A and B are shown apart, each in its own frame.
Chain A
Amino acid sequence: MTWTVQNLWLIPALPLLAAGVTALLKQRHRTLAASLAIGSMVVAFFLACSAFAQTLGGHGEGDAALRQVFNFPWFQLGTGSLKIGWVLDPLTASMLVMVTFVSTLIFIYSVGYMAHDENFTRFFTFLALFAAAMLGLVIANNLLMLFMCWELVGLASYLLIGFWYHKPSAAAAAKKAFITTRIGDVGFFIGLLWLYSETGTLLFYDGGNGCLEQSALAKLVGTSVAGGMAVSTAISLLIFCGAVGKSGQVPLHVWLPDAMEGPTPVSALIHAATMVAAGVFLMARVFPLLADPTSTAREVVTWVGAITAIFAALVAVAQTDIKRILAYSTVSQLGFMFIGLGAGGVAVGMFHLLTHAFFKALLFLGAGSVIHGCHEEQDIRRMGGLRKYMPVTFATYAIGMMALSGVPLLFSGFWSKDEILHSALAWSPSKIPFVLGLVGAFLTAFYMTRQMWFVFFGKPAIAPAVTGSKAAGHGSTQLHGVEAHESPGLMTMPLVILAVCAVLLSVVGTPAWPWLESYLNGQAAIWNFDRLLESGTLVTMIISAIVAGAGIATGWIAYSRPGAVVADLDPLARTFPRLFRILENRFFIDELYQATVIRLTAMLGLASHWMDRLVWGGVVEAVSWIMLGVAWVNRFLDENVVNGGFDGACDSVRGSSRLASRFQGGQVQAYLKVIAIGLVVLTIFALWGWRS
């Protein structure tokens, strides 16, 4: 075992240490806090790269040769112990590099974005905590350890969504995010317990004894539960519940758009690039459980992904908040990843996860730059023409937009989405996910064009200072009367780097050289240009290129026509007013939940409360009245019969004091007497029963 594997724990431990130290710093130590957080991430990045390099050798020897684990006992349990540990394999290594790289850039960007925030130091504490938890999740070789880190990223997400805690909406969104994802986590937790009780271990890989290794899998697939479902399927469906929550899949997607209440770097890092992808990563990690292509679990994953992909894309079309559009887009793209995972396997889902991480982080940071430049305006209808004032943001945003829309050949998003559509087309149970995916892809191109047009083209709604006085005449479309400006270099530099990645990442996953797929499967990648021209591949490529082109063209035509947008009214809203209203209101899902689940919970709460008050409380009341009655009878007998003769004389002497004491602790004494008498009677009874 190499030094890197043995010390893989340093990768999450460094940011954790940074989080611990900055948590104790006073607010004024801004520079120190930021440098600690960024420094720890840079070191973690280099460690991740060295770990990545480790996994590059040994191609062609299959997947086991590439996997190195380090396990150790955490605590004693019965005659054995519970072991945790970490694993280094291509899946872990590729995630490590992506997470540390994107995080480092976003940390740097945050220095600029959060410069004026009074809780700057705390912000970096939470960011570092998040990175630590996420990296711990990635290296975990034990489902329990993964679950623990999973909960901790949930905590970091909670803290960061609610970072501007004085805003009630932010506080509510933070709570909603934590609770909604925890609903899924309950399923995950039960799945985990079940897996543990079936296999007796939660270590993924343990030299043949792990729960994802041959002997355990054979047992899981072989056993079936009621209804004939294999245990492995039931367990993977339960674990998938957790993924649905964390990755914002229907029906637990409601928290993710609200999470945009957090500062924009948070949205970029957590709610677009990394944490929300943890659900996809989780399913990729436990993929051996659902490796059987005919497994129901895979069908469920694919269908949930397909429904989410189209649902969220539809909603995104009618949103007006720049970050919410991206949020729904994220939900939709995560759906694509699940289609890929379900229909195509780990490599297909992971490829889109990795490319999406870069271009979605880019888009969010770009959106942050726009918001920053427009003085905290987030409504795209109040922007416009920004390409002139924010050229770098515009150029990089355009690259991100084209990658997301799937513009052919040059952009990574095209290749990864193409892989997904290709595998959906080849999926035997049904072709509907493929069709839904295509429509989703079309809508993606459409809403991104719509957003581009509103923000960067069109009529400048925010006038630069020189034209400020003239623009003031427009009144409603002019914002604050202040100048839109390009963001500082600290913020644009990460944009440029991410934009380069959004393009370059194409090379690792084209059909001609499917390096990533081979890498994840532990094989050597072979260059074969002909694969590009195989009929299936080529057809999908052409279809998806046409779909992307059509989406962009439709969007451009719909919005760029002069007079397309009148008085903030979207052309779609004019053409399809009722449909638009439904989309704008996100299919009224939040309202539905409000009226059902949330109301039901509140009612159960009240029911339990009144049950205590009336039913149980009533019984207690009745019992205590009966006891009180007995006590009074007893006291009467006590005073008049038992003590009558003896106490009679003394009563006049100590009368008052005795009465007083009776009333102070008297009732307790009365109870005690009743009980004592009862005791004597029952003891006699018991002893009598014994003798006879």
Chain B
Amino acid sequence: MSSLPLISILTLVPILGGIAILLFGAGRNTAKHIALGSSAVAGLLAIVLWTSFDPALKQLQFVERHLWLPSMGIEYFVGIDGLGLVMVLLAAIVVPFAIAATGEITDRPQLHFALQLFLQAGLFGSFTALNFFHWFIFWELSLIPAFFLVKLWGGPNRTSAAYQFFVYTLVGSVAMLLAFLALYAASGTFDFIQLAELSRNGTLMTSVTSKLHWPGVLPEHVPMILFAGAFLGFAVKVPVVPFHTWLPATYSEAPTSVSMVLTGAMSKMGVYGFLRIVLPIFPHEMNAALPVLMWLAVATILASSFAALAQQDLKRIVAYSSINHLGYCLLGIFAVAKLSATGAASELEKTTALNGVVLQMFNHGITAAALFCFVGLIESRSGGARSLSDFGGLRKVAPVFCGLMGITLFSSIGLPGLNGFVGEFLIFKGAFGIEKIPTAVSALGLLVTAVFFLGILQRVWSGPLASRWPAFPDLTTREKFLVAPVIVLMFVLGVCPQLLIGLFNGTMTQLTQHLKF
């Protein structure tokens, strides 16, 4: 293992890239080229992390630890395990994909591309930070560029969408911040690993109940309130129904490349938070709230898929499907929190569900980003039209476009052989072994997903060619090269999921073993 502070460099690269754009990116296309160059460097670094990561070691790797504000228990503490690595890889793939898919930006291109890179830095930072304080900075840092990207370059209703997005996420963040301040007050640490350790040996909640005395609140209720605060922060980000209404508005108003990053990588921050933070620190509280949580997951899966059925706007359909797909992740995570008989069988179910969750995060990241990319390509060809009723029969004039988008849609439907299937199967397999009824009800979501995605294939691509688009252009060579890597990845991961599972199976096995009730 090299002694270079690889993770810090990785996070620093996009920041430096962004600054470089602001300083030197004035020429035509220069900004985009610098952005691509910078994310390529970040990608190379991510590959270095990947190849030098040893999945057999069940500990954090590439750890950097420096005192920051010792008096407040704040450290600069970064490192990755299997989970962090996969998320870093995802961010390293999705952001350049989105930058490359960015169309011509005439309005302040330098700022646009710089913000995209700052967003990537926020993602890298929050997927690697292990101290709450430091992690929270990146969590918020990623929010600000996203807000401005939507606000300044979005569609007609961008302002309201951007505010909704910002306010929602901020309310969640504040609730979470308060919860962690209270935890700090009780335990004296912001360190996730240490907090999980304290939670595991039971001292965390004892000190919470003994040290925090809030007027009008029974001490035994305090842990639940703290959990609720932390939960809210992540629930908004994922999102969990009913904290989701910002998402369709934001995704559909954001420019294509921003929607790609929002759904491809940023939405994973919420699920990541549940895995890294909530599950290890609040397992008892999750278990106590389990029935509510399970049915929230079911509601997320079903409400979003049915809402997608009622949409006409392609972007809104994809946005709702994104909620639906992350709903499966919630199902898996929540089921794991069930207090069950300890034993190899139950541990296996939990590990299976968690493996499925991480796989699903990665797969959904690339598939949903690709879907938004395709919708963006349709929109740029149609001059902004993107309603189901605007099209018809386009397969005749754009067969390659149809074929590749069809593959992506089927990947999202969860067709075996493509990447989406294995993750969903593992989640369902694990969750079914733990909570049968909610899981079985959720399976209905798999059906509804197929209905609205096939609706896209039917209404946009099939039927007689709509007279409006006699010459709808097929994908250009550049566009084929843009999507080809992701499409190849869909097939590779569909056939050979071990490539990814091998990276985080150890981490997830350890996580379940540590879940002691």
Contacts and interface: CB of A to CB of B under 8 A. Distances in A.
B351 A609 contact: no
A144 B306 contact: no
Interface string A75-117: 1111110000000000000000000000000000000000000
Interface size bucket, A side? 35 or more
Contact of A692 (B181, B213, B344, B444): B213
Interface in B308-342: 308-311
Contact of B432 (A193, A675, A678): A193
Interface string B415-457: 1110001100110110011001001100110111011001101
Interface stretch (A265-273, A570-578, A616-624): A616-624
Contacts of A679: 174, 177-178
B410 to A, nearest CB: 7
B100 interface: no
Contacts of B212: 686, 689-690
Given A78-B347, A78-B351, A624-B164, A689 B502 contact: no
Contacts of B166: 668, 671
Contacts of A566: none
Contact of B211 (A75, A602, A690): A690
A175 to B, nearest CB: 5
Interface stretch (B122-130, B238-246, B269-277): B238-246
Contacts of A624: 163-164, 167
Contacts of B351: 77-78
A620 B245 contact: yes
Contacts of B355: 77-78
Nearest to B495: A74
A488 to B, nearest CB: 28
A682 B311 CA distance: 41
Interface in B472-517: 496-498, 501-502, 505, 508-509, 512
Nearest to A675: B174
Given A178-B450, A686-B178, A77 B505 contact: yes
A155 B16 CA distance: 47
B416 A166 contact: no
B487 to A, nearest CB: 12
A612 B248 contact: yes
Given A179-B447, A611-B303, A616-B245, A166 B396 contact: yes
A178 B410 CA distance: 12
Contacts of B451: 179, 601
Nearest to A678: B174
Contacts of A183: 447
B485 to A, nearest CB: 16
Contacts of B177: 679
A175 B458 contact: yes
A633 B440 CA distance: 50
Contact of B307 (A174, A182, A197, A609): A609
Contacts of B512: 78
Contacts of B302: 608
B425 A144 contact: yes
B439 A186 contact: no
Contacts of B461: 165
Nearest to A80: B348
A178 B454 contact: yes
B41 interface: no
B388 interface: no
B417 A148 contact: yes
Nearest to A151: B416
Contacts of B439: 193
A404 B164 CA distance: 65
A627 B167 CA distance: 9
B109 to A, nearest CB: 19
Contact of A165 (B246, B348, B395, B448): B395
A691 B76 CA distance: 27
A186 B505 contact: no
B147 interface: yes
A168 interface: yes
A609 B310 contact: yes
Interface centre among A152, A624, A668 (most CB of B within 10 A): A668
A675 B308 CA distance: 33
A619 B421 CA distance: 36
Contacts of B432: 190, 193-194, 196-197
Nearest to A692: B213
B348 A78 contact: yes
Contacts of B211: 689-690
Interface string A334-356: 00000000000000000000000
A612 B352 contact: no
B463 interface: yes
Given A171-B462, A687-B185, A155 B410 contact: yes
B462 A79 contact: no
A564 interface: no
Nearest to B449: A182
Contacts of A672: 170
Contacts of A683: 178, 181
Interface string B8-37: 000000000000000000000000000000
A171 B458 contact: yes
A433 interface: no
Contact of B505 (A76, A179, A608): A76
Contacts of B463: 165-168, 171
Contact of A189 (B352, B395, B443): B443
Interface string B162-190: 01101110110010011001100110000
A671 B443 contact: no
A151 B415 contact: yes
Contacts of B244: 612, 616
Contact of A612 (B214, B245, B464): B245
A128 to B, nearest CB: 14
B178 to A, nearest CB: 5
Interface string B23-63: 00000000000000000000000000000000000000000
Interface centre among A172, A197, A624 (most CB of B within 10 A): A197
Contacts of A77: 348, 351-352, 355, 426, 501, 505
B306 A197 contact: no
B498 A148 contact: no
Contacts of A682: 178, 181
A557 interface: no
Given A178-B450, A179-B451, A612-B307, A76 B213 contact: no
A405 B234 CA distance: 64
A84 B79 CA distance: 35
Interface string A138-177: 0000001001110110010010001001111011101100
A589 interface: no
B416 A147 contact: yes
5 contacts: A155-B415, A165-B393, A182-B447, A189-B443, A620-B246
A-B pairs with lowest CB-CB distance, top 3: A148-B416, A605-B309, A171-B462
Interface of A: 74-80, 144, 147-149, 151-152, 155, 158, 162, 165-168, 170-172, 174-175, 178-179, 182-183, 186, 189-190, 193-194, 196-197, 200, 601-602, 604-609, 611-612, 615-617, 619-620, 623-624, 627, 667-668, 671-672, 675, 678-679, 682-683, 685-687, 689-690, 692
Given A151-B416, A152-B416, 12 more contacts: A77-B352, A151-B415, A178-B450, A179-B450, A183-B447, A608-B306, A609-B307, A611-B307, A624-B163, A668-B166, A679-B177, A685-B214
